[in-house]
């Protein structure tokens, strides 16, 4: 592969007379002089554009970006900024007075106006993205996919047509996505700034930071949060909600959504959702209406699920998960990791074993690989289901049957500091601390026993509480 190099032509003039002209190579950034500079980025010639950063400085400068994704900042003076091909940004972050820009499409010129002046300052051509300064800016996109960044001040950002990303920055901003699916970006919020947004099908909503009203969002379908502990709630349409850093809580609402908790301990909150959900964190799928329903949401980077009052089925991944069924008859399987399982109200089922969801080495989980899960609230009417491929060593009278089957009483023992008491014991429950063990060889000594769960509320289990599936 040929390495791409950057090249551009630089000249400066005094009283419109050129006094210096250079051609420079393998340079990506240029800062102009106090004169009227002309800086042009060349095409790379190999189809690979180079991202240039051109700063005009003083004077009336001409900046032409070339074929890469360029950043052009005119500085002082009335400058001409042409992004060329690629996705280019006009940067006004050096401005301390308000900036107003409405982007035009393609080769049509657009203009910047400073401090509400009616006289244009900079001329913009082939610019896709805008970055404002420290004052209250008004930035409006065109029919393309724009990134509008307000920075400081109480900014007004309007996306227009296209799939736009709007980042108001500091201040109380007004963000209007326009048509298509648009995103409000809050990635710069710190760990002490907790964002809360509930979308409403394009209607204007308020974004709260630490419980205080902040930005106004209109025609926004997607949110990218910052580093705080954020709460994001979608609407009936398609939403993309990303918690980024922090311990976030995310609800998709109706529609087919892309939900990502990302970093931190994040919660997929289904408490207000109807229909009964099947969620598999390893396979990143959420189905409204049960395991046989079509995939509605794609879910990534969640450690906890909170269910509502319907009958839900929640399956964890190979990490530590917290699965809360809520009301209804729920089915909870932590899979790998040390998981915390809570069925709450209803006749719930706690599953152990099954397939490991390892793409590279699929197969049944081993008991030792599952981790020791915590069942917080086992109650009368609940069941513990043991997968027959994971819990594989059973006496002959439990094999060759149609699953599920009840655990034979002779294969179960319980008591304080209990171990397998006889050769056909397989499951034993220590009623002193709630520990639950599987003894694959029934040796009687308990030396081969593996703990796979703890009954935290110390409910006294019997063989009738178990099924082999």
Q: What is the pLDDT of residues 180-193, one digit of tens each?
A: 999 999 999 998 99
Cis preceding-peptide flag for 404 (omega within 30 of 0): yes
Q: Counting Cβ atoms within 10 Å, is residue 324 exposed (0-12), middle (13-18) or buried (19+)?
A: buried
Q: What whole-number percentage of the chain has pLDDT above 90?
A: 72
Task: Give me the mean pLDDT over the 321-335 stretch.
Answer: 97
Q: Note every long-range contact of 42-51, with CB atoms under 8 Å and residues 24 or more positions apart, other chains counting.
A: 42/6, 42/7, 42/8, 42/9, 42/66, 43/67, 44/4, 44/5, 44/6, 44/7, 44/68, 46/2, 46/4, 48/4, 49/4, 49/85, 49/86, 50/4, 50/5, 50/6, 51/86
**For residue 449, what pLDDT is reported?**
87
Residue with more model confidence, 53 or 98: 98
* 98 pLDDT higher than 60: yes
The rounded distance, in Å, linking the Cα atoms of 280 and 138 is: 44
pLDDT band of 353, cuts 50, 70, 90: very high
Task: Give me the mean pLDDT over the 80-88 stretch.
Answer: 95
Name residue, tokens 């509502």.
Answer: 308
User: And the tokens for 411?
Assistant: 């294969």
The rounded distance, in Å, linking the Cα atoms of 463 and 354 is: 21
Other beta carbons within 10 Å of 14: 13
* 21 pLDDT higher than 90: no
Q: Please state whether the predicted TM-score (pTM) of the whole model is above 0.75.
A: yes
**For residue 291, what pLDDT is reported?**
83
Query: Are 299 and 317 contacting, i.e. CB atoms less than 8 angstroms apart?
Result: no
Query: Are 321 and 333 contacting, i.e. CB atoms less than 8 angstroms apart?
Result: no
Pick the closest to residue 356 from 319, 404, 307, 305 (CA basis): 319
User: And the tokens for 181?
Assistant: 């699916």
**For residue 400, what pLDDT is reported?**
56
Secondary structure percentages of the chain, helix, strand, coil, to 5: 5, 35, 60
**What would the pLDDT profile of 210-267 be if each residue is shown by its tens digit?**
999 999 999 999 999 999 999 999 999 999 999 999 999 999 999 999 999 999 999 9
**For residue 360, what pLDDT is reported?**
62
Task: Give me the mean pLDDT over the 461-468 stretch.
Answer: 96
**For residue 40, what pLDDT is reported?**
52
């Amino acid at each position: 592969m040929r390495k791409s190099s950057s090249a551009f032509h630089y000249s400066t003039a005094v009283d419109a007379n050129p006094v210096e002209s250079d051609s420079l190579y393998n340079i990506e950034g240029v800062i102009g002089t106090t004169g009227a500079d002309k800086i042009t980025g060349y095409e790379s010639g190999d189809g690979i554009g180079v991202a240039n950063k051109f700063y005009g400085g003083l004077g009336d400068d001409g900046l032409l970006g070339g074929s890469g994704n360029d950043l052009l900042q005119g500085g002082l003076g009335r400058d001409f900024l042409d992004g060329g091909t690629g996705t280019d940004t006009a940067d006004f972050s050096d401005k301390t007075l308000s900036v107003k820009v409405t982007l035009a499409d393609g080769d049509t010129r657009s203009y910047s106006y400073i401090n509400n002046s009616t006289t244009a300052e900079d001329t913009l051509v082939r610019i896709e993205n805008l970055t404002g300064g420290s004052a209250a800016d008004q930035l409006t996109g065109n029919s393309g996919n724009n990134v509008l960044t307000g920075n400081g001040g109480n900014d007004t950002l309007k996306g227009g047509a296209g799939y736009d990303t709007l980042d108001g920055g500091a201040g109380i901003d007004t963000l209007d996505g326009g048509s298509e699916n648009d995103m409000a970006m809050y990635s710069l919020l710190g760990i002490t700034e907790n964002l809360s947004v509930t979308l409403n099908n394009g209607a204007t909503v308020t974004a709260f930071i630490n419980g205080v009203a902040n930005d106004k969002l209109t025609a926004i379908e997607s949110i990218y949060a910052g580093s705080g502990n954020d709460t994001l709630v979608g609407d009936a349409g398609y939403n993309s909600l990303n918690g980024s850093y922090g311990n976030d809580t995310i609800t998709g609402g109706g529609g087919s959504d892309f939900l990502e908790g990302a970093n931190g301990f994040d919660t997929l909150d289904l408490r207000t959702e109807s229909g009964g959900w099947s969620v598999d964190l390893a396979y990143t799928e959420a189905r409204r209406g049960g395991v046989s329903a079509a995939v509605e949401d794609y879910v990534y980077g969640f450690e906890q699920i909170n269910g509502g009052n319907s009958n839900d089925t929640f399956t964890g991944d190979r990490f530590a998960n917290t699965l809360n069924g809520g009301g209804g008859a729920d089915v909870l399987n932590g899979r790998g990791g040390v998981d915390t399982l809570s069925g709450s109200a209803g006749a719930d089922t706690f599953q152990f074993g099954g397939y490991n969801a390892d793409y590279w080495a699929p197969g049944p989980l081993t008991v030792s690989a599952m981790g020791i899960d915590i069942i917080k609230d086992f109650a009368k009417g609940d069941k513990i289901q043991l997968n027959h491929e994971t819990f594989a060593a059973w006496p002959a009278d439990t094999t060759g049957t149609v699953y599920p089957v009840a655990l034979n009483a002779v294969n179960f023992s319980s008591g304080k500091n209990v171990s397998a008491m006889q050769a056909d014991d397989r499951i034993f429950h220590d009623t002193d601390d709630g520990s639950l063990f599987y003894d694959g060889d029934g040796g009687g000594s308990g030396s081969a026993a593996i703990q796979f769960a703890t009954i935290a509320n110390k409910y006294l289990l019997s063989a009738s509480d178990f099924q082999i599936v």
